[in-house]
Each structure stands twice: as C-alpha cells, then as structure tokens.
Chains A and B, each alone.
Chain A
Amino acid sequence: MLKRLALLLLLATPAHAVQPDEVLSDPGLEARARQISQVLRCPVCQGENIDESNAEVSRDLRLAVRERLVAGDTDAQVIDYVKSRFGEYVLFEPERTGANLILYWIGPAVLVVALGGVFLWLRGRRREDEAGATVLSAEEEARLTELLKE
C-alpha cells in the first residue's frame, strides 16, 4: 500500500520535457518530431513549447505528434492536425495569412523605406551642398583671404 502511494506521488511530480519512453526508435522520425514540437505551443503553459514543457497536455501532444508521424503524415499535416484541435494559438510561428502579413512584412518594408529615405536625403543634401558651395565660395574666399592676412 505504502509502496504504491510512494509510486503515485513520484508519478504525480511533473514529468520533465521529453521522457525516455516517448522517444521513437527511428532517429529520422524522432528528429522530425522534435522539430515539430519546438514550433507548437503548450496550450496551458506560459510561452513554453511542448518540447520543453512539463505539462501533462504537452506530453499527450508530443505522443500525438509521434503517432501521426509514425502513421506517415508529413510535418505540415501533423501541425494542421494539432491546430485543428487547439486553434491558431498553438502555432509559435503565426500563419502568413490576413492581418498576420503585417507582422511578417513590417520589418522588410520599413527597412526599404528607411534606406530609400536615407539615400534620397543624402543625395538631396549633396546637391544642396554643391549649390550652396558655389554661391558662398566667392564671398567666403574673400573673407578667408582677409582672415588669413590678419
């Protein structure tokens, strides 16, 4: 009785990330499973993926992912399978659809605009500089020679 209770308590402590009994014997499939579990979010934790999470549901998901892979699904099919059950929330890499495109393109777009702006600004200023230089040079040169004489 006591022994069983002890065992129960041991099992009740959170299982830590991937357990040895989950690992698939085929190293190729296992590697794919690990990669997939790193882009799936644990639905009940705070910002952990199912690969590193200790939650029960993450263990179930890790096992489900492996089951699908063994059954011959592609990576995309497995991810779709999990998404169909838990929603968009579990994808750590949001889908590139709709408003999410803003998220994906804001960096490149701002970069291009900023670099373009800098280019036009520098070119404009060089023109200004050249124009300004020719207007001022006669006056300035006269003053310069004057100053140098003193």
Chain B
Amino acid sequence: MIVETGHFALILALCVALVQAIIPLVGAQKGWSGWMAVATPAALAQFLLIATAFAALTYAFVVSDFSLKLVYENSHTDKPMLYKVTGVWGNHEGSMLLWVLILSMFGAAAAAFGAALPERLRARVLSVQATIGVAFLVFVLFTSNPFLRLEEVPFNGRDMNPLLQDPGLAFHPPFLYLGYVGLSMAFSFAVAALIEGRVDAAWARWVRPWTLAAWIFLTIGIALGSWWAYYELGWGGFWFWDPVENASLMPWLLAAALLHSAIVVEKREALKSWTILLAIMAFGFSLIGTFLVRSGVISSVHSFANDPKRGVFILFILAFFTGGALTLYAARASNMQAKGLFSMVSRESALVVNNVLLAVAALVVFTGTVWPLVAELVWARKLSVGAPFFEKAFTPFMIGLALLLPLGAMMPWKRARLGTLARPLLPALALTLAVLALVWVMATGRPMLALGAAGLGAWIVFGALAEIWQRAGRTPGRVLRLPRADWGKAFAHGGLGIVFAGVGLLMAGQIEDIRVAQAGESFTVGGYTITLKGVEEVPGPNFTSKTATMEVRQGDKLVATLHPEKRIYPVQAMPTTEADIDNGVWRDVYLVIGDPQEGGGWAVRTYIKPFANWVWAGCLMMAFGGGLSLSDRRYRSAAGAHRSVAPNAVAAE
C-alpha cells in the first residue's frame, strides 16, 4: 500500500510539474498575475509529492519488500541498515528518483526563498525548472520505474555490489547530484533571462549563490568519490580519468568558470551573454554526464546497467534542453548590452582568461572522453583514451591557471598596472622560492613533478595570504574583520593550491613494495619496518573476512597497528580488498593483504603515499571557502539589495 502511494505520488508530481511548466510561463507572457502565482505552490507541491515517492521507496528498502523488483535486485535482509537506506540510490532507477527529488527540491527552494524576485522572472524560472522536471519524471515513469512489482515474491534479495557497501560511496551520489542538478537553477535563470531579454547585476546576484551551492556540492561529491577510490580499490589510486569521473569534472570546471564570470556581471555588468552561455553549457554538461553514465555508450567501471532505450531518451532530453536553450541564446543574446568597460589589464580581463582556461580544459576533457566513440563511428578505429593522455593534455591548462591566479585575484577592476600589482606579491614569490628550495633538497622519485606541484601550490597559497593582507590594509586588526566573501575567496583559492601540491607530491614521491611475507616476518619500506603478525578468519554481517594484523614501526617506535582485510561477499560471490591506512599529515602508510601463496605466506603490498590527505583536505577547503562566500552579507541581504533596483525595472516596462 505504501509503495502504491509512492507510485501514485510520483504520477501526480508529473501532472503538477506539467501545470507548473505551462501556466506560469503563459502568465508571464500575458502579464496575468494569477497565472504566474501558480508557480510557487506548484513547485512546493511537486517537491512534497516526489519526497513522498522517495520516502515510500526508502521504506520498501528498509523493510526489505522483495515484491518490488528493484529491492529484490539490489538488497538483502543481511545487509546493514545503513546500506539498505543508501541502497535506494545505489542503482539506476533509485538514483534517477533521487535526481528528480533534488531537482524539485531546488525548484521548491527557489519558490520559498524567491519572494523578493521580480514576479515575472520567478514565474519563468520556476516554469523552466518544471519543464526539466517533466522530462525527467517521464523518463523515470516510462523507462526506469522503481515501483514495479514482481509477480512471485522471492525469498531473499540479490544484495548490492559489495564495492558500493561503504560509507564513502554511500554519500557520494547525493552530493554529486546536488551539484549536477543544482546547476539546473543556473540554467533556468539563464533561460528565463533570455525569454525576458534582460540580464543585470540583480540577476547575477540571484544566479551566483545557486551556482556556488551547486559547485560546493560537486566539489564535495567528487572529493568523496576520489577518497573512496583511494582507500577501497586497494592500491591508492584516486583519479582514473574514467569517462564517469570526467563526466563530473566537466560540469565542475564550467561551474567554476560560471562562478567567476557571474562576479563580473554582478559587479561590472559586463560579460553578460558569455555568462548566460556558460550557465547553459554547465547544465548541458551535467546532462551529458547523466547520458554517459546511464546509456552505456562508453564503457566504464562506474556505469549503471546498459539500456539503449534509456540512452536514446536521455539523448533526446539533452538535445531538447541544450539545443532549445542555445537556439534561444542565438536569437536573443545580442540584446544583452554590456555596460562596464575595462582595459586589457584588469580584474575583468583576468577573469576572462580564467574562463578561457577553464572552458578549454573542459573541452579537452570532453574531447578525450568522447574520442573513442567518435573514432569508432567515423573512422571505424577502435582506440582508447586514458590517464596518460589526460595527464599530458589537461595539466598545462592547470599550470597556466595556477601561474595567473594570484596575479588575477589581486587586480583592481577596470584598469590595473602590473608594476603596482607585483609589489604585494613579492613576499609570496619569495616564500614560494623557499618552498622550491626545500623540495629540491628533499625530493625523491620524480623531482621535476614534485618541484612543479609544490611551487605552483605554494604560489597560490601564499598569493591568497598576500591578498588577505593587502585587503586588510596591512593592518593585523582588520584581517579578521574582512567580509566573508574575501575569506571565502582566500580559502577556495588556497584549497586549490593545496590540491595541486598534494596531487603532484603524491604522484612524484610514492613508494611501493610488493612481496610475499610469512607470518611473523618483518621488512623495511621507505624507512618504516613492517611486521606481518598473522592473518585470521573473521565473520562479518554479510561477508567473511581474512583480517591481517600488521605493525608499522619507525626505528623502535610503534607507529600503528593496521588490519587490512580481504573480504568475500558470498551472495554476490565477489572478493574485495579493504586496505588499512595510517593517515598522517605528511604521508599515509597504506597496507594491503593479498592472496595466500602456494609456498606459504601472503602477498603483501605496502605503499608510502606522501601528502595524500592534502588532496582531500584541499577539496574540503575549497568547499568551505565556497560556503563562507555563500554566507556573505551581500547574499544574506540579497532580497534587500534587490528591492533597491526594483523601481527601475517597473519603470522600464
């Protein structure tokens, strides 16, 4: 009964979304207030209905209702409760339901907090948002319905892929979807502005927080996924340039570009049409990502079950929304009058270069991702594009970005002079050189990579500090009283620097050791003495585990006792490796136990991973910086700020 209620609520949500897509849009064209006012209650109702459907599906997973096909295929009574709940989105159908839930949640949030938006803009934004909702609700109901029953109820379920039964991955998809789908708000605002034919500072002030929120979620989602890969896959890789990872990186790059160009619209009323285009492209790439993951055109370890019908449907949605929006853009973009002028060397032009670098980097990732497909279709060549290509083709753009970032961030609006600009950065440059010297002395492995990464990372971090110091007028007392937006910028930029340094130093200096060790045997890796004490069989809730006990010593001091495991999940007949890691600021000691060997003993892998945690700490810092910026006074009082421009808007009509 509860399940049917959920199914019914989902169908009703589609009807509400249809109303929300049409009525307010007509109202806005005709100037009928009553019709426009439908948007707000409709957006809230749509959200509540989809939330009901999602709750019903969650209930079915929690009570293990195997009469539902989806629950049978993806759950098991022995599975821990956490994974029963997260199992709701650990499959195609459930994750699509989460997708539309988040989509409607953003719509409802815009309806609830958008009271200060101009009536017409609000009606149009919510209408566009509902149109996306209609498309995806139809997709869920007709190609991926999670509420389908089985005629005969099986005794137990087939369980979930054990690799997904992990806290890091359990919460990775919701964050990622909050990011992907959050960009739909920027898209809806962009399309509404194109219909309206107006983009101004107030518009940018509304778009930016939504984009910022989406970017924060995307950052956290990507970081969680990469952290999971690091500890779960058993050898400490954290980024594979897999098509599905690329699908999340492209919207992230474009969202980052959009954040920066929206600042120019907000502060200087320039770059309007470019910002609109970016907003369309950022969401377009989210849709491309959805297509890549769910259509099966590009094989990937992450992708859901392949179904060509679904792929065609998503391709149709993708073509409709990006194609439609771009057509509208082509027709209307010339109306966007830029006001603020700026010179060749200015904050504005620096942000333009930032946008060019980020957008071209996204293009490179996109080309590399779809190239195997293109080559096969056009030239019938079966080829692969993988990590070695991306590392070479993508990195130069990031180096360019890192070199220019501190300079661009310091530039004043309108017109800057390089001479005056450079002076406050001299201490940052000196500190960067000091870091370079230190790395030169200490580096092992691939010293050039270590030097480059540490140098660029230090340059960005010290540059961000120099900027804070400069903003505070070189007065210590004022540093803490700077607006949160300034701190947000420093944290976000500094975090990026830390990610760069972490990635480079980790790749340059990691040490690996593979060997057979007998119980009780000790060996030395990179200054640590490791002892395999023994291996025991330990039963788990829905798996059995061979758990090793290993000691890590430095000299005579015991650093850590680690318990790497090898698990077998009998229902899925799948082994997994659970590495155990001693986390540290400067290095991780990463231990993996392998198979027992014919001649006795166990295969043991040891990795020393320098600066590994800097990668994720940097991501968190970026997200934290975004959060600080989001909580800045000018967004908290955005409603008030908007009222001051509202009279002009009325006068213009």
Q: Which of B353, B363, B385, B392 has the most CB of A within 10 A?
A: B385
> Considering the chains assembled together, what is the distance between the CA atoms of A111 and B382 in angstroms?
28
A57 lies within 8 A of chain B by Cβ: no
- Distance in Å: Cβ of A147 to nearest Cβ of chain B: 17
Check A49–B386 contact: CB distance below 8 A.
Answer: yes
**How many B residues, CB 8 Å from partner?**
53
- Per-residue contact bits, chain A 84-97, to B (CB 8 Å; 1 contact, 0 not): 00011111111000
Check A107–B364 contact: CB distance below 8 A.
Answer: yes
Check B603–A16 contact: CB distance below 8 A.
Answer: yes
Contacts of B520 in A (CB 8 A): none
Check B514–A20 contact: CB distance below 8 A.
Answer: yes
7 contacts between A and B (CB under 8 A): A16-B234, A19-B603, A41-B386, A92-B385, A98-B379, A99-B381, A125-B341
Contacts of B392 in A (CB 8 A): 93
> Considering the chains assembled together, what is the distance between the CA atoms of A15 and B598 in angstroms?
13
Contacts of A10 in B (CB 8 A): 595-596
B316 lies within 8 A of chain A by Cβ: no
Partner of B368, one of A13, A46, A103: A103
Check B301–A106 contact: CB distance below 8 A.
Answer: no
- Per-residue contact bits, chain B 357-370, to A (CB 8 Å; 1 contact, 0 not): 10111011001100
Besides the known contacts A13-B595, A19-B594, A92-B387, 19 further A-B residue pairs in the complex with CB atoms under 8 A apart: A10-B595, A13-B575, A15-B595, A16-B577, A16-B595, A18-B514, A20-B603, A46-B300, A47-B301, A93-B388, A94-B375, A100-B375, A103-B389, A104-B393, A107-B361, A118-B349, A118-B352, A118-B353, A125-B341
B237 lies within 8 A of chain A by Cβ: yes
Given known pairs A10-B595, A94-B389, A103-B368, the reply for A41 and B575 (CB within 8 Å) is no
Contacts of A39 in B (CB 8 A): 386, 388
B597 lies within 8 A of chain A by Cβ: yes
Name the CB-closest residue of A to B376: A89
* Total cross-chain contacts (CB, 8 A): 128
Check A107–B360 contact: CB distance below 8 A.
Answer: yes
The 3 closest A-B pairs by CB, nearest first: A92-B386, A93-B388, A107-B364
B299 lies within 8 A of chain A by Cβ: yes
Is chain B's binding surface mostly helix, strand, loop or mixed? mixed
- Per-residue contact bits, chain B 331-357, to A (CB 8 Å; 1 contact, 0 not): 000000000011110000100110011
Contacts of A46 in B (CB 8 A): 299-301
Partner of B360, one of A41, A110, A126: A110
Contacts of A89 in B (CB 8 A): 382-384
B230 lies within 8 A of chain A by Cβ: no
- Distance in Å: Cβ of B190 to nearest Cβ of chain A: 21
- Distance in Å: Cβ of B599 to nearest Cβ of chain A: 10
> Considering the chains assembled together, what is the distance between the CA atoms of A37 and B381 in angstroms?
22
B243 lies within 8 A of chain A by Cβ: yes
Q: Which of A110, A122, A129 has the most CB of B within 10 A?
A: A122
Name the CB-closest residue of B to A88: B383
A69 lies within 8 A of chain B by Cβ: no
Check A129–B386 contact: CB distance below 8 A.
Answer: no
> Considering the chains assembled together, what is the distance between the CA atoms of A88 and B384 in angstroms?
8
B240 lies within 8 A of chain A by Cβ: yes
A76 lies within 8 A of chain B by Cβ: no
Check B363–A110 contact: CB distance below 8 A.
Answer: yes
In chain B, residues 503-524, which have Cβ atoms closer than 8 Å to a Cβ of chain A? Answer: 514-516
> Considering the chains assembled together, what is the distance between the CA atoms of A23 and B515 in angstroms?
9
Name the CB-closest residue of B to A114: B356
Contacts of A91 in B (CB 8 A): 383-384
B397 lies within 8 A of chain A by Cβ: yes
Contacts of A16 in B (CB 8 A): 234, 577, 594-595, 603
Partner of B375, one of A47, A93, A99: A99
Name the CB-closest residue of B to A118: B352
Given known pairs A38-B388, A110-B360, A123-B344, the reply for A47 and B371 (CB within 8 Å) is no
Contacts of B632 in A (CB 8 A): none
Check B515–A20 contact: CB distance below 8 A.
Answer: yes
Check B386–A106 contact: CB distance below 8 A.
Answer: no
A52 lies within 8 A of chain B by Cβ: yes
Name the CB-closest residue of A to B577: A16
Check B343–A122 contact: CB distance below 8 A.
Answer: yes
> Considering the chains assembled together, what is the distance between the CA atoms of A125 and B359 in angstroms?
23
- Distance in Å: Cβ of A6 to nearest Cβ of chain B: 10
> Considering the chains assembled together, what is the distance between the CA atoms of A109 and B393 in angstroms?
12
> Considering the chains assembled together, what is the distance between the CA atoms of A91 and B397 in angstroms?
24
- Distance in Å: Cβ of A78 to nearest Cβ of chain B: 15
B551 lies within 8 A of chain A by Cβ: no
- Distance in Å: Cβ of B366 to nearest Cβ of chain A: 9
A14 lies within 8 A of chain B by Cβ: yes
- Distance in Å: Cβ of A137 to nearest Cβ of chain B: 14
In chain B, residues 300-347, which have Cβ atoms closer than 8 Å to a Cβ of chain A? Answer: 300-301, 341-344
A17 lies within 8 A of chain B by Cβ: yes
- Per-residue contact bits, chain B 225-245, to A (CB 8 Å; 1 contact, 0 not): 000000001110100101100
In chain A, residues 39-91, which have Cβ atoms closer than 8 Å to a Cβ of chain B? Answer: 39, 41, 46-49, 52, 87-91
Partner of A92, one of B342, B389, B514, B598: B389
Check A111–B381 contact: CB distance below 8 A.
Answer: no
Contacts of B237 in A (CB 8 A): 52
Name the CB-closest residue of B to A104: B393
- Distance in Å: Cβ of B396 to nearest Cβ of chain A: 8
Contacts of A94 in B (CB 8 A): 371, 375, 383-385, 389
Check A99–B379 contact: CB distance below 8 A.
Answer: yes
A1 lies within 8 A of chain B by Cβ: no
Contacts of A21 in B (CB 8 A): 516
- Distance in Å: Cβ of B296 to nearest Cβ of chain A: 11
Given known pairs A92-B388, A103-B385, the reply for A111 and B393 (CB within 8 Å) is no
- Distance in Å: Cβ of A66 to nearest Cβ of chain B: 13
Given known pairs A15-B595, A20-B515, A23-B514, the reply for A92 and B384 (CB within 8 Å) is yes
Name the CB-closest residue of A to B517: A20
Check A14–B575 contact: CB distance below 8 A.
Answer: yes
Given known pairs A16-B595, A93-B389, A107-B363, the reply for A126 and B344 (CB within 8 Å) is yes
- Per-residue contact bits, chain B 377-406, to A (CB 8 Å; 1 contact, 0 not): 011011111111100110001000000000
Check B384–A90 contact: CB distance below 8 A.
Answer: yes
Contacts of B363 in A (CB 8 A): 106-107, 110
> Considering the chains assembled together, what is the distance between the CA atoms of A146 and B233 in angstroms?
74
> Considering the chains assembled together, what is the distance between the CA atoms of A90 and B397 in angstroms?
27
Contacts of B381 in A (CB 8 A): 88, 99
- Per-residue contact bits, chain A 3-30, to B (CB 8 Å; 1 contact, 0 not): 0000100100111111111010000000
Contacts of B515 in A (CB 8 A): 20, 23
A2 lies within 8 A of chain B by Cβ: no
Check A47–B577 contact: CB distance below 8 A.
Answer: no
Check B383–A106 contact: CB distance below 8 A.
Answer: no
> Considering the chains assembled together, what is the distance between the CA atoms of A98 and B343 in angstroms?
41
A138 lies within 8 A of chain B by Cβ: no
Check A47–B598 contact: CB distance below 8 A.
Answer: no
- Distance in Å: Cβ of B118 to nearest Cβ of chain A: 28
Given known pairs A20-B516, A41-B384, A92-B384, the reply for A111 and B389 (CB within 8 Å) is no
